[in-house]
Amino acid sequence: MNITDWHAQSTEGFADLVARIRDDQWSLPTPCTDWDVRALVNHVVGEDLWTVPLMHEHRIADVGDKFDGDVLGGDPKETAARAAGQAVAAVSEPGALDRTAHLSFGDFPATEYAYQLLADHLIHGWDLAVAIGADTHLDPHLVHECGTWFADREELYRQGGVIGPAVAVAASAGEQARLLAGSGRDPQWSPAVGAVQRYLTAIDSRDIEATMAAVTEDVVWENTTPPDGVRYAGAAAVRAATEEFLRDNPKAIFEVEELAALGADRAAARWRYSWEDGHVRGVDLFRIRAGQVAEVLSYVKG
């Protein structure tokens, strides 16, 4: 096998995962904290659409904004399958890998571009699989080939802002875990963790609309008021309480020190809440339902 085969396998594998997305899963969180499932798929399908002109040595200015925004349309599964087929055909053309790819960050041999596409489809394939509850075991041969290529480029990608900080893993971690960690992903990420991350990010950004989008209509929040916490039940009550909290604490900083899954639908966050002249530390226990926070039980150190 060679890069042409590896690109085809990873691209077709991603398209197969897209075909398995249920109608109620498009808004689920993914390990890419800024993207839900649809946004993740839109990114990769956009890469597939770009593959055709770039593999034919077109420049980005030649394409313009044709592939900006939402490229999935009303039938994202059909769009993904078609785009994947066209991308595989473009890379597989006789002589395609002898060309030059004019990318946004410079001109590269088409072979190098094909490896970038392999990494994108393989790693984002894991992102999608873990988000929708599919098999997250990547093909070991693809992982090895991608990891070998990525090893010499990891820091360059990180310096360029393409990937986040590396995640620490055990010395005994396998190739898949090391590849994911090197690309800024926690190999132990779960949908429950993702749902909590989305909620906490919205709170930290003081974005009330994003906060409410991250919770269920029947969400329950118990705050830290002693002795048992004030209980707010339902989205309207939680919204009002959250707005009051953010209004009354305009300069406070909420920092998550640790976030861990407690099974498929539970998670815990250890946090530090600080203001101008003090701080407290505590823990939130979360219950998750269908990718949204359904319950928050807050506890603070006395």
At 197, which amino acid appears? Answer: Q
pLDDT digits (tens, 9 = 90+) for 18-40: 999 999 999 999 999 889 999 99
Find out if CATH 3.90.1150.10 is the number for domain 191-300. Answer: no
100-103 and 106-109: which strand pairing?
antiparallel
- Residue 86 CB partners (closer than 8 Å, separation 6+): 48, 49, 51, 52
CA–CA separation, 170 and 213 (whole Å): 35
pLDDT at 249 over 90: no
Token digits for 180? 């994911």
> Nearest CA to 208 among 230, 233, 238, 248?
238
pLDDT at 275: 87
Chain region(s) in the chain for CATH 1.20.120.450: 3-182
Quick one: CA torsion of 39, 268, 202, 274, rounded to 10 degrees?
Answer: -150
Give pairs for 169-174: CB < 8 Å, separation 24+: none
Cite the residue boundaries of each domain of the chain with CATH code 3.10.450.50.
Answer: 191-300
Sheet with 253-261, edge to edge strand ranges? 231-233, 215-222, 292-300, 278-289, 266-275, 253-261
Instruction: Tell me the pLDDT of the chain averaged across its residues.
Output: 94
Judge contact between 218 and 234, C-beta under 8 A: yes
Count CB-CB contacts under 10 A for residue 147: 19
Residue 292 has pLDDT above 80, yes or no: yes
**What are the tens digits of pLDDT across the range 108-124?**
999 999 999 999 999 99
Q: Which superfamily does CATH assign the domain made up of 3-182 to?
A: dinb family like domain (1.20.120.450)
Query: Which pLDDT belongs to residue 52?
Result: 97
Q: Provide the β-strand partners of residue 223.
A: none
Q: 244: which residues sit within 8 A by CB, 6+ positions away? A: none
Instruction: Read off the tokens for 207.
Output: 């974005």
Local structure of residue 165 (DSSP, 8 states): P
Whole-model pTM? 0.86
User: Averaged over 174-202, what is the pLDDT?
Assistant: 94
Bridge partners, 232 (sequence order): 221
